[in-house]
Amino acid sequence: MACPLLVLAAYDAGRVMEAAALRGPRVAEQALALVQQIERSGTQDELQRLKDINDFFNRRVNFREDAATWGLADYWASPLESLERRAGDCEDYAIAKYFSLAAAGVPTARLRMVYVRARMQGQSLAHMVLAYHAEPGAEPLILDNLRPEVLPASQRPDLTPVFSFNTEGLWQGVGQVTAGDPLARLSLWRDLVAKVRSEGFL
């Protein structure tokens, strides 16, 4: 049924567990670990949260192309989907980290998904990372799956930023959003955000 599911804009651990339970006991187990991690991180400073969440996903999710995981050329997976497959490509890492950090209480204004050009072994490839700005204008910290540690941007000369975006302004002016609204799913990012919200993140 295409009943528009009304989603409140807030992290809800219970709803995350419900959504995970629907995907099976294995996912529920992973989700429980994530929820516990988010709960633990919530009491720590932001730098520690960055490290915890970065390590959580770098450890549990293996890099694999979307074509192999989903059978699609490009697929933006939600955190639960990545945990279900235990696999993802660069944007799936960034997505999972973005929403988990947001759930752990990091303001989304400080987080940015960044399209970067990465140079690896003399090759240039399109890549996506998560950048954390402690202050506006300050040098960001980069959360990446190519290099598992959290590093300032200046220590990543292999990355050239192209364009950044986040969820700021995406839902401005409305407290509620209908996850079933077909027009809200017109881009990969919007589609994903709607999906993640329905799973209880954000």
CB of 99 to other proteins, least distance (A): 17
CB of 151 to other proteins, least distance (A): 12
Could you give the C-alpha distances from 139 to 14, 53, 105, in angstroms and in order? 36, 20, 21
Size of site (CB under 8 A) for other proteins: 25
**Which C-beta is closer to other proteins: that of 17 or that of 150?**
150
- Binder to other proteins among 62, 68, 126, 165 (CB under 8 A)? 165
Per rule CB under 8 A, is residue 162 in the interface with other proteins?
yes
- Per residue in 103-131, is it b (16+ CB within 10 Å) or e — as a string? bbebeeebbbbbebebeeeeeeeebbbbb
DSSP three-state, residue 177: strand
Site for other proteins in 166-185 (CB under 8 A): 166, 168-170, 172-174, 181, 183
Site for other proteins in 93-112 (CB under 8 A): 109, 112
Q: In the beta sheet, which residues pair with residue 152? A: 141
169 burial (CB, 10 Å; 0-12 / 13-18 / 19+) is: exposed
- Binder to other proteins among 14, 122, 136, 157 (CB under 8 A)? 136
**Which C-beta is closer to other proteins: that of 1 or that of 163?**
163
CB of 73 to other proteins, least distance (A): 21
Site for other proteins in 109-128 (CB under 8 A): 109, 112, 114
- Binder to other proteins among 13, 133, 158, 180 (CB under 8 A)? 133
**Number of Cβ atoms within 10 Å of the Cβ of 19:** 21
Per rule CB under 8 A, is residue 6 in the interface with other proteins?
no
Tokens of 132: 């954390």
Q: In the beta sheet, which residues pair with residue 104? A: none
Name the DSSP class of 9: S
Within a 13 Å sphere around the CA of 74, how many CA atoms are in the beta-carbon half? 9
- Binder to other proteins among 25, 122, 137, 157 (CB under 8 A)? 137
Q: In the beta sheet, which residues pair with residue 116? A: 127, 161
**Which C-beta is closer to other proteins: that of 45 or that of 163?**
163
What residues line the site for other proteins (CB under 8 A)? 109, 112, 114, 131, 133, 136-137, 139-140, 153, 161-166, 168-170, 172-174, 181, 183, 186
